[in-house]
Amino acid sequence: MKSIVLFSVLILVASVFLYSSYRSQNSVSISSTEAVNTSQESFSTIEKLENPYYSRTDTNKLTLTDAQWKKVLSPDLYAVSREKDTERPFTGKYWEFSGKGTYYCSACGFKLFRSDAKFASSCGWPSFFEQENLSSVVYEIDKAYGMERTEALCGRCEGHLGHLFDDGPKPTGKRYCMNSICLDFVADH
């Protein structure tokens, strides 16, 4: 019995150590044009000088090649948005952020979510219970990693944002589990 308890304690200590080490080594790097003040005083302008396709007013669909996207997105954003990578949980700039404003696609500038639809979730990524409008987010079935999930994509550029789950709060019961790196935030004035 003592050996089982000792073994359990060792496993727990090792898990805590590995998690702490993992969090400190695996933060997603953010380029200077994607940086955000994570206090409640977020910025209201977003510089996307290197991305001529970024617009918070244009709603026309974008159909760019991978080579075109690679030229205008940071390597981290390209990996998540275009290659469907996932940022590490509990490391994104918006997972605990509670500023009031609007979230836009960081690849193309399309309006995705309002802050009043964001809720505190323990999943490690920013979570919303509804999208801004019916065209903000589109969906595909994702069968990666041996499971079937609903992938959430930007309605304008079809960049990967995250996944949609049916375990969110009322009134929708939905949880849009998004990668922070795919979101830009503009504070209300």
User: Hunting for tokens 């997603």 — which residue is that?
Assistant: 28
Q: State the Cα–Cα distance between residues 49 and 56, nearest whole angstrom.
A: 13
* DSSP letter string, 57-95: S--S-----HHHHHHHS-HHHHHHHTT---PPTT-STTT
- Catalytic residue at 108? no
Amino acid letter for position 14: A
* DSSP letter string, 11-53: HHHHHHHHHHHHHHH-PPP--GGG----SS---S----TT-TT
* DSSP letter string, 134-147: TTTEEEEEE-GGGS
Q: State the Cα–Cα distance between residues 136 and 103, nearest whole angstrom.
A: 11
Look at residue 129 and give its three-state secondary structure.
Answer: coil
Amino acid letter for position 85: D
Annotated active-site residue in 108, 154, 177, 182: 177
Q: State the Cα–Cα distance between residues 142 and 86, nearest whole angstrom.
A: 13
Catalytic residues: 177
